[in-house]
Amino acid sequence: MIGELISKREVLATLVEKDFKSRYKAKALGRLWSIADPLVMVVIFTIVFAHILKVAQPFFPIFLLLALTPYRFFANSVNGAATSVLDNVQLVKKVSFPRLMLPLAVVFSHLRHFFIELMLVAALFLYFPEAFHLSLNLLWLPVLLAVQLVFIVGVGLTVAALNVRYRDTHYILNSALLVMYWLTPLFYAFSFVPAPYDRVLMWNPMVGVVEGYRSVLLEGNAPSLMLLGAGTISALLTFAVGAAVFKHHESSFADYL
């Protein structure tokens, strides 16, 4: 599968570009929506949690955005991947290419969105320069992104394959993402999770990723190896399951489209 993707990487690049551009088609603000949407969410949640509920968290807008941005990358990618095959019925039926490219194109398209949203994170650090800690631990950032990407691709491949045969998969996914939204420490630090729930939540890869970004950028420390290790194991297992499920169902896609 990997060899086939490498040999036809130009096709994947074309699909990524097509998906990326289609999201801004006929929109007056264009790519600015990638920043406007999370900005509105940060403003609202900052007012609610930092000013109304009086959450004692320094630099709360950055604290929140460092979790919200990677979570949006996860949720939007998985949602898009779930319908990626169904959205390209004619392409699947008439053109010979690795079907794996369809969910991957959605994920890599949202990866570009993720990098655009990071501009908002950079802007907040410029506004609160004392919040940023420059250290060699910044070298952990590619590791965190890799774990995040492996997990997203694994979930994306699973739901993309299952949604072709079981059309209610997408509805189940929406409920699952809602649960995931609250099980990921977006508005709170993982340290607030009491035992024994922390031993369960630590296997959620997004926990290690979110806490890792905060640790590296806000504290100048290395990520928690316990959280990152558990998250990496879960992400790799999810990827393996996703690849197996997609490969198993790929040959029968045309029968259900």
Radius of gyration of the chain (CA): 19
pLDDT one digit per residue (tens) for the chain, 257 residues: 677 777 777 878 888 888 887 776 655 555 666 787 888 888 998 898 888 888 788 899 999 999 999 999 999 999 999 999 888 888 877 777 778 899 999 999 999 999 988 988 999 999 989 989 889 999 999 999 999 999 999 999 999 999 998 888 888 999 999 999 999 999 889 999 998 999 999 999 999 999 999 999 999 999 999 999 999 999 999 999 999 999 998 888 877 77
Residues 6 or more apart in contact with residue 224 via CB below 8 angstroms: 208, 211, 212, 215
| Rounded to 5°, angle at Cα 241 from 239 and 245 | 120
Ranges of each domain in the chain: 2-256
| Predicted pLDDT of residue 183 | 92
| Predicted pLDDT of residue 26 | 54
Alpha-carbon span 248 to 166, nearest angstrom: 14
Inter-residue contact 30 to 113 (CB < 8 Å): no
Query: Both tokens of residue 63?
Result: 């604290």
Which H helix or E strand runs over 187?
A: none
| Predicted pLDDT of residue 37 | 82
The SS3 of residue 202 is: coil
Q: Which of these, 235, 234, 190, lies nearest to 214 by C-alpha position?
A: 190
Where do the DSSP E strands lie in the chain?
none
